[in-house]
Amino acid sequence: MVATLTTAMSPASLRRSGPLPRLPPVCAQMSDSAELSYRELQRACKAAGLPAVGKAGELRERLLAGAPPPPSRPEVLEGALLERCLEEEAVQLLDAAAKERVLGYVRALLRYNARTNVYARSSYDKLPFHVADSVTLGLMISEAATPSSSVLDLGSGSGLPSLLLAAVNPQMHVYALESKSRKTRFLAQAGAELRLPLYTPITANVHEFARVSFVDADFVTAKAFKPLPEVAPIAAACVGRRALLHVPVSEAQVRDISLAESQLLRRGRFVYYREAVVPARSLVKRRDFRGGGAGAAAVAH
């Protein structure tokens, strides 16, 4: 069963929320129930069908003894985030297989991030937004793509958006360029778990990559990568033919940079800057990068 955020409520929020919930949600919080008053403990016992007579410590022990083991914090977190991702309109538009790949990405990210930091744990609450933003971008690209189209994602980080672009478009070559090997290890592992054989992480600094290699990509993406004015020149240095650059932007960026509406694509609450880029460097003595899929991160030399 999918857990919800209500299982992570604090005792203080339980007091504000009126009648206490049934046994499992209440007892999931008993490890920090010292803040609950005697009256609240009585109400919890009554709600659970347990005797409500005795000292506070006895009531607390009675609740714990009568409750099933509460879900661990990671399980509660994962369930809540998965549920919120499923509620996003863009995710609801996907077929069952693509939807499961998106949820598989979230599970893989949380599991890997528990031991190796690739995504700020303090920002988990924003993860459903970024998932929906990336899925929306993937759907937009699929509308404009041909069967042979490919994507280059700059500064892939934790896979937003590259892994989700591939999850939405598993038939499309997606190249994920990222300088930090701990992140490309995650990208490779997650790509393999999600069975995305055309997804290729590349461990390289973008400038070093552009010096010796290029990608014949039709689309370039970059989310939270560089200041917007710097992105198009970098993209132009990395591609081997004309490509369309798509960059997720905020309304604040639209105002601050004075972007024209003609430069933007809007889908619901998501906004994307779009620009055509052409190769800015000679292709002579540079190799057309062809990666080996998601089995292992590729390194550009």
Give the N- to C-terminal CA distance of the chain in Å, as an integer.
47
Give the integer Cα–Cα distance in Å for 195 and 202.
18
Residues 295, 253, single domain; the answer is yes
Final residue belonging to a domain, choices 49, 66, 83: 66
Residue with tokens 């369930």: 79
Count of structural domains, the chain: 2
Residues 160, 40, single domain; the answer is no
User: Which has the closest alpha carbon to 118: 75, 203, 180, 189?
Assistant: 180
Residue-level pLDDT at 73: 60
pLDDT digits (tens, 9 = 90+) for 116-175: 999 999 899 999 999 999 999 999 999 999 989 999 999 999 999 999 999 999 999 999
| pTM for this model (two decimals) | 0.74
Residue stretches of the chain with pLDDT short of 50: 1-34, 67-72, 292, 295-296, 300-301
Residue-level pLDDT at 7: 32
pLDDT digits (tens, 9 = 90+) for 200-214: 999 999 999 999 999
Residues 111, 178, single domain; the answer is yes
Residues 86, 199, single domain; the answer is yes
Residues 53, 35, single domain; the answer is yes
Q: What are the CB-based long-range contacts (under 8 Å, 24+) for 127-130?
A: 127/81, 127/85, 128/81, 128/84, 128/85, 128/87, 128/88, 130/160, 130/223
Residue-level pLDDT at 294: 52
